[in-house]
Amino acid sequence: MASIDKKRELSTGDSTRKGFSEIIELNVGGQVYVTRHSTLIAVPNSLLWTMFSQKTPAELTTDNKGRFFIDRDGFLFRYILDYLRDLTLVLPDYFKERACLQKEAEFFQLNELSRRLKPVVSKDNSIGEEVCQSDPEETALASALASTSIATTTASSQSLRSPSLDARKTGYITIGYRGSYTIGRDIQTDAKFRRVARITVCGKTSLAKEVFGDTLNESRDPDRPPERYTSRYYLKYNFLEQAFDRLAEMGFHMVACSSTGTCAYASNDPNEDKIWTSYTEYVFCRE
7-29 residue pLDDT tens:
454 444 444 447 899 999 999 99
Rounded-to-integer distance, Cα 109 and Cα 45, Å: 8
Contact present, 41 and 79 (Cβ < 8 Å) = no
Positions in the chain short of pLDDT 70? 1-17, 120-167, 181, 183-195, 264-273
The reported pLDDT for the residue numbered 142 is 46
The reported pLDDT for the residue numbered 68 is 95
The reported pLDDT for the residue numbered 160 is 42
| Domains in the chain: boundaries | 23-117, 171-185+193-286
Instruction: Check: pTM over 0.85? Answer yes or no.
Output: no
The reported pLDDT for the residue numbered 189 is 53
Contact present, 274 and 170 (Cβ < 8 Å) = no
The reported pLDDT for the residue numbered 219 is 84
The reported pLDDT for the residue numbered 133 is 40
Pick the CATH number of 23-117 from 3.40.50.300, 3.30.1020.10, 3.30.710.10, 3.30.300.30: 3.30.710.10
Rounded-to-integer distance, Cα 176 and Cα 254, Å: 13
DSSP string covering the chain:
-HHHHHHHHHHHTTGGGGT--SEEEEEETTEEEEEEHHHHTSSTTSHHHHHHHSS-GGGS-B-TTSPEEE-S-TTTHHHHHHHHHHS-----TT---HHHHHHHHHHTT-HHHHHHHS-EE-TTS-EESS-----HHHHHHHHHHHHHHHHHHHHHHHHH--GGGGPPPPEEEEEEEEEEEEE-SSGGG-TTS-EEEEEEEEEEHHHHHHHHGGGEE-TTSTT--TTSEEEEEEESS--HHHHHHHHHHTT-EEEEEEEEEEEEESSS-TTS-EEEEEEEEEEEEE-
Type of residue numbered 183:
I
Strand 68-70 and strand 274-286: pairing?
Answer: unpaired
198-236 residue pLDDT tens:
899 999 998 999 999 888 988 888 888 888 999 889 898
The reported pLDDT for the residue numbered 129 is 45
Q: 199: how many CB neighbours lie within 10 A of its CB?
A: 23
The reported pLDDT for the residue numbered 114 is 93
CA distances from 184 to 196, 274, 279 (A): 18, 6, 21
Residues ≥6 apart with Cβ < 8 Å to 225: 94, 205
